[in-house]
Structure 1
Amino acid sequence: MRALRRFTVRAALPEALTPLSQLVMNLRWSWHAETRDLFEALDPELWQTCGNDPVKVLGEVSAERLATLSRDRRFLRHLQDAVDDLEDYLSSAHWYQSLGPDAPRSIAYFSAEFGITEVLPQYSGGLGILAGDHLKAASDLGVPLIGVGLLYRAGYFEQGLSADGWQLERYPSLDPHGLPVKLLRQPDGSTVVVSVPLPEGRTLHAHVWRAQVGRVSLLLLDSDIEENAPAERGVTDRLYGGDEDHRLRQEMLLGIGGVRAVRAYCQLTGTPQPEVFHANEGHAGFQGVERIRELTESHGLSFAEALQAVRAGTVFTTHTPVPAGIDRFPRTLIERYFAGFGVPLEHLIPLGSEDDPSKFNMAHMGLRLGQRANGVSQLHGHVSRSMFSDLWPGFDQGDVPIGSITNGVHAPTWTARELVELGTQTSSEGDPFEGQGPASFDGVDRIPSGELWTTRRMLRGRLVDEVRRRLRETALSRGAAEAEVGWTDTAFDPDVLTIGFARRVPSYKRLTLMLRDPERLRALLLDPERPVQLVIAGKSHPADDGGKQLIQQMVKFADDPAIRHRIAFLPGYDIGMARYLYWGCDVWLNNPLRPLEACGTSGMKAALNGGLNLSIRDGWWDEWFDGQNGWSIPTADGVDDHDRRDDVEARAIYDLLSTQVVPRFYETDRDGVPSRWVEMVRHTLRETGPKVLATRMVRDYVEHLYVPAAGSARTMADGGYAPARDEAQWRARLQENWSGVRVAHVEATGGGDTPEIGSTLALRAEVELPHLTPADIEVQAAYGRVDDADGLHEVTTVPMAHEHTEGSRHWFTATVPLERTGAFGYTVRVLPHSEHLADPAELGLVRSA
């Protein structure tokens, strides 16, 4: 028989132990070692069998054990210390509190997934882990963030392997009452319910669960409630599942329902309503549509006026390096779902328009609703400006208003405790987690090489123990008998160079690139003097059979009895497994198809633990590889034949391993320490560590995006949204008359017949502005190196000053310095100008000479 419902019966806590409830419901325990020590002390054996899950431990620890602990003075002192430490963490002023009144009073951060702890499995991969680290770092810095997501009753999926190596998916049913979350309730105790309208008069209802992530509240919407019809109950069934209709309803609940949940939460708790709304990828785009609807109904604004107010306070982050990764819905589906929503379809549909008129593009909507947008590494910013350049026709790629903030990772979550206690994250410049700028972790210089190497070996040994345990479990689950799994007891070796490769398994990440020459890989694994061992993990999307075939290919290779003690594919990749990999791997391998890796934060986590990256110059590694923190795999950029490119880049990996990586690891001094290797580890910890911190990333978001967005949002809301009304009128007038704007004539004087460096050029431009004024525009002189096709490169722009006016004709002047030798060129262009523009290219309007 199957149970109708599953839930956990907990022992009642003795009064002396009631503070445990406070500690377990704040997810700070997931990155605070001392609090985890406390929960382990409840029952060390149970802690292990429960997978280090304090919620589960509290649910299963015996009443007798609790009674004993309630009389244990040492445990009670430990408990009080943990409670005091948490209360101090929650109440103390942090970096953000020093910013003053310009900082946003509150920020809403929307994401389809959040990876905070394996105990709350609401993530699939890098996007969710990044969102979780964003919340944790915001908490550490005191940033008043509110996270908004969905509570998936089956999470993503639990991964297994069949006997022949095919990925198997299992969707465990999660009971929210057994998770570290609480229902959001009204003062009378009733449950808060948010609602989203659906077609045919139906309504999608959701409860709001609140997870506390340090100082940050995370609101998770749950549709599996009695108020819904069966179809609507399943909307939050699983992450990234279902058809287009299902996904659209999920994204409507995230965006529209998420805004309504934030409104209810702020009203109930007295939290200031957010001034900034940050959409982490296009899944959350409908939050902007809901806020437009709010303003049209509450303040009588037109769509255009509400759009100005909403855009001003919206930040959009794209993580997508390829068009295929963007959510695109049939236009007819959008029309069906939003026909009576409150935002006219003739205004809504253009927000998501693209080349294909039958599609509605969520990333395009995110960019049109967000006045400020960014990619997640410098290279990804460049890729994004190219990928979305059609939204700004007439502009060079470099002028497309999409910036970049390179991702970071939450050091307290991902760094091995032993390394932190050694002092690898201390700095003579003060607290690097709250200070300004990229500090150096120079504390690592005080650690003797032998001690650093011994700690790295200990962490490698811990990984080996975990690999053996998982290999045994996996073999048994795939049908092996007990008598057949004895080999796992001696698999892997704590003294062998260990390489890690773990990530999602789309084709561009090239899981099987290392198998291009199987015999050469075997030779590396089985070298009698200097062997290598490989730990591999990753999940393929359940609908991606191509990814599953790559996993199967890897598993079959690793199943070979001759090499299975040196290479392993471990199913069940999650936060819990990842920690062992980041702690214990000497080298982190990453070989995506450049430039399709937006950032690739797994290598950052390895670097925080002294792991050396062996990676294609993609994502974050493209900007922070410095020649001493690992190795750069040469790429075959420009080779169109994918097979040939894979062969070339695989050979480069084998060559680097055999000629540089392996010799350096095994080259030891008289004390048995590979001194040159350890110096690379030390350099990585000292120089790369501070750069990859999530606190650095969140500071960048605050300073470069959140504070300016809050200022713009406040300006637009002044005087009952009078500036938003004025700006909408100005934009309408500008767009109506822009077709008549023309650079009629440009003349240049000075420089002589043969211009020399150090001389100047005087430019004078005649510009026609019918029905517009010089105050509506900015005229720029653009100059730089010129190619054979008269294309300008390395462009510098200077504003041209208004000289005089005759009717609709206006003259502008500027002086251009001749500061370089060689081919030189210039032009003149006209751009819109308003004090409310975040970027001159924002409107996508330009006229060039």
Structure 2
Amino acid sequence: MVNEYSKWHHPYKPAKKYDKKVAYFSMEFGIHQALKIYSGGLGFLAGSHMRSAHELKQNMVGIGMLWKYGYYDQARNEDRTLRTDFIEKTYNFLEDTGIEVEVPLHDNPAVKVRAYILKPEIFGCVPMYLLSTDVEGNDHLSRTITNHLYDSNELTRVSQSIILGIGGAKVVEALGGADMYHLNEGHALPAFYYLRDQGVKKEQFAFTTHTPEKAGNEERDARHLNRCGFFGRTLSEEELRQEMVNDGMINYTVAALRMANKSNAVSKLHAVVSNDMWKGFDGINKIIPITNAQNQNFWQDEEIKKAWKTKSAKKFKDRKTALKNELFDVVLNQTQKRFDPNVITIVWARRFAGYKRADMFLYDLERFEKLLSNEKYPVQIIWAGKPYPKDYYAIDIFNHLVNFSKNRKNLAVLTGYEMDLSKQLKYGSDIWLNTPRITREASGTSGMTASFNGSVNLSINDGWIPEFQKHGENCFVLPELDHKKPVWEQDEEDCANLFEILENEVLPTYYNKPKKWQEIVLNGITDTIPEFTSNRMAQQYYDELYS
């Protein structure tokens, strides 16, 4: 079967300044709640990029994976703790392009990879080509490669990178090729190796590094990858040695940084951290900052936008109250607790990971209990987020918060943290709390979309925050610590500072100075738009990374 999207095709004539053909590879895309091919921030970012590329009429396509079971569905055990469910997804709004390519993988000379299209008119993004190995003619193991996003089996993970990279590159070839190949993170690294062998020049390679976390920068045994077909052909021992780092390993990030003509980090601070992090490796160009951003049209509530534009405190308050009540219906349904729209509502919502410190309030239980029982300045706190399904430390933090909050009427832990709930939490919160250990949050885009909707950031000064923050004017920021201090000391100090700012600045302003609070809210929106919208980011990629 062949359709109009089996060749490079857009529903518009690309704008002249964006006519360079760009293929953008990402392991996950958060385009819409219903298309469950994302896990979190990386996907939300990629989805916003594809929406903005469409709005700006850019000549770009997205290359991703069609995950049969998605990431996972977050549910609860009988005692309310976390349960991971894997439910098959079917997408009737996707179309088979008729493009099928073959990729040699391990001892299989020809794993079939089929491309499905998400057409632009469905969700308002550039054409998205999603790859599946669940194809007739493939053996059972090959068919399961595209089952689970970030599969915990190491061999499957390697296979996923090969399918996205080499399979994706071959699909782009079938579409007529691209002028630029952009890897969003190192997952699709095999694309660069394959394309280089096809004569594609270094000037056509761009790379974005997203994380200073070691686990986010994959590193695997070079000979093992060679056996798997990672490089598109079997490299000789001498060729392999040229790619190796760290005693016989291939570091996906180092390899991509070496092969790309230009690379970027995702905030100004992250660029400093990244350049320092990779400076010991030769052949790497300077990593430039292009700060992550999110799509305003998708993430900002229309009524909030109108209230901000007219600077109407009444319209804003009325809308915020309505949005809080909608969020509190979710809280009531999930936890059987009734929250009050007149009480300040603090939300911590993102991927659960140890360094993000979801449980920071609990580091000082005595002070936390006082905060929870303060009748003068009452608070409500909501946590939400998905840990990786095999990150047992993060799952334990999630479950500990569930158990701690069970019998406390003003605490709630929600499940199902996907795009819809993320939106509702940003719409309905007063404070967006961000507590990572400093230098470890590359960007932190959830704070931007919260700010779009009048939720005030209370954050560590990390990621995008240093580019935005005016403490007490558009957000609240914890004092910056020396990140080289022992972790225990950092945790203790950050926790004390969090309580200090909440008790002495945030709560008195919210309850005693509503006009001042309103000013902070509106300043937050004004200082986020347009600077932290993905239309700015998508334009910057063409100007600085693809030029």
- TM-score clears 0.5: yes
Which SS does the other structure have where 2:127 is aligned? strand
Distance 2:134 2:238 in 1: 32
2:95 partner letter: K
TM-score with structure 1 setting the length: 0.61
Query: Which of 499, 503, 509 is 1:664 aligned to?
Result: 509
2:334 partner letter: R
- The verdict on how the C-alpha distance between 1:339 and 1:106 changes in structure 2, with shifts beyond 3 A counting, is closer
> 1:451 matched to which residue of 2?
315
> 1:690 matched to which residue of 2?
530
2:542 partner letter: V
> 1:416 matched to which residue of 2?
301
> 1:288 matched to which residue of 2?
192
Query: Which of 164, 171, 182 is 1:278 aligned to?
Result: 182
Shift of 1:584: 1.0
Shift of 1:588: 0.4
Q: How many residues align?
A: 535
Runs of 4+ with >3 A deviation: 163-166, 338-348
1:125 partner letter: G
> 2:163 matched to which residue of 1?
253
Once the two structures are superposed, the pairs formed by residues 649-798 of structure 1 within 5 Å of their partners are 649-668=494-513, 674-706=514-546, 708=547
Distance 2:168 2:271 in 1: 28
Which SS does the other structure have where 1:588 is aligned? strand
Alignment of 1:360 onto 2:360? no
Work out which structure has the larger RCO, using CA pairs closer than 8 Å and 6 or more positions apart in sequence.
Answer: 2
Alignment of 1:182 onto 2:29? no
Query: Which of 259, 268, 277 is 1:369 aligned to?
Result: 259
Shift of 1:624: 1.2
TM-score with structure 2 setting the length: 0.94
> 1:205 matched to which residue of 2?
112
Distance 2:454 2:169 in 1: 41
Alignment of 1:241 onto 2:128? no
Distance 1:702 1:634 in 2: 36
> 1:590 matched to which residue of 2?
434
Alignment of 1:543 onto 2:397? no
> 1:152 matched to which residue of 2?
67
Cα offsets for 1:142-195 (capped at 9, x unmatched) = 11111001111000001122244532100001124x3x211112xxxxxx2111
Distance 2:366 2:392 in 1: 27
Which SS does the other structure have where 2:530 is aligned? helix
> 2:277 matched to which residue of 1?
387
> 1:122 matched to which residue of 2?
37
Distance 2:262 2:470 in 1: 30
Distance 1:547 1:233 in 2: 30
Alignment of 1:168 onto 2:32? no
Mapped contact 1:142–1:215 kept (Cα < 8 A): no
- The verdict on how the C-alpha distance between 1:339 and 1:495 changes in structure 2, with shifts beyond 3 A counting, is closer
Instruction: Note the residue ranges of structure 1 that are not aligned, 5 or more in a row.
Output: 1-25, 27-88, 186-191, 268-272, 296-308, 394-398, 425-443, 473-487, 669-673, 709-849
> 2:208 matched to which residue of 1?
317
> 1:806 matched to which residue of 2?
none
Distance 2:193 2:207 in 1: 14
> 1:138 matched to which residue of 2?
53
- The verdict on how the C-alpha distance between 1:450 and 1:245 changes in structure 2, with shifts beyond 3 A counting, is same
2:528 partner letter: T
Mapped contact 1:351–1:364 kept (Cα < 8 A): no
Which SS does the other structure have where 1:382 is aligned? helix
2:126 partner letter: V
Distance 2:483 2:204 in 1: 40
1:636 partner letter: L
Which SS does the other structure have where 1:619 is aligned? coil
Cα offsets for 1:473-514 (capped at 9, x unmatched) = xxxxxxxxxxxxxxx3xx211110011110111111111112
Query: Which of 413, 431, 443 is 1:569 aligned to?
Result: 413
Distance 1:341 1:159 in 2: 36
Cα offsets for 1:808-835 (capped at 9, x unmatched) = xxxxxxxxxxxxxxxxxxxxxxxxxxxx
Shift of 1:291: 1.0
Identity of aligned residues (%): 31
Mapped contact 1:349–1:360 kept (Cα < 8 A): no
- The verdict on how the C-alpha distance between 1:160 and 1:449 changes in structure 2, with shifts beyond 3 A counting, is same
Distance 2:178 2:511 in 1: 55
Mapped contact 2:28–2:37 kept (Cα < 8 A): yes
Distance 1:416 1:223 in 2: 38
Distance 2:232 2:533 in 1: 41
Alignment of 1:97 onto 2:15? yes
Mapped contact 1:353–1:364 kept (Cα < 8 A): no
Shift of 1:530: 1.6
Mapped contact 1:418–1:455 kept (Cα < 8 A): yes
- The verdict on how the C-alpha distance between 1:232 and 1:658 changes in structure 2, with shifts beyond 3 A counting, is same
> 1:578 matched to which residue of 2?
422
Distance 1:321 1:136 in 2: 26
Which SS does the other structure have where 2:116 is aligned? strand
- The verdict on how the C-alpha distance between 1:223 and 1:515 changes in structure 2, with shifts beyond 3 A counting, is same
Structure exhibiting the larger radius of gyration computed from Cα positions: 1
> 1:482 matched to which residue of 2?
none
Distance 1:700 1:618 in 2: 22
Which SS does the other structure have where 2:412 is aligned? strand
1:391 partner letter: F
> 2:343 matched to which residue of 1?
496
- The verdict on how the C-alpha distance between 1:340 and 1:450 changes in structure 2, with shifts beyond 3 A counting, is closer
Which SS does the other structure have where 2:444 is aligned? coil
Mapped contact 1:590–1:614 kept (Cα < 8 A): yes
Shift of 1:636: 2.9
Shift of 1:639: 5.7
Cα offsets for 1:618-677 (capped at 9, x unmatched) = 000022112211111123325633222211111111111110000100115xxxxx1010
Which SS does the other structure have where 1:315 is aligned? strand
Mapped contact 2:52–2:125 kept (Cα < 8 A): no
Shift of 1:592: 0.2
- The verdict on how the C-alpha distance between 1:348 and 1:407 changes in structure 2, with shifts beyond 3 A counting, is farther
Shift of 1:686: 1.6
- The verdict on how the C-alpha distance between 1:201 and 1:527 changes in structure 2, with shifts beyond 3 A counting, is closer
Cα offsets for 1:590-630 (capped at 9, x unmatched) = 01001000100000000001111000000000221122111
Shift of 1:90: 4.7
Cα offsets for 1:235-280 (capped at 9, x unmatched) = 001000132211111100000000111222x24xxxxx31000000
Cα offsets for 1:429-474 (capped at 9, x unmatched) = xxxxxxxxxxxxxxx3x333222222222222222222212324xx
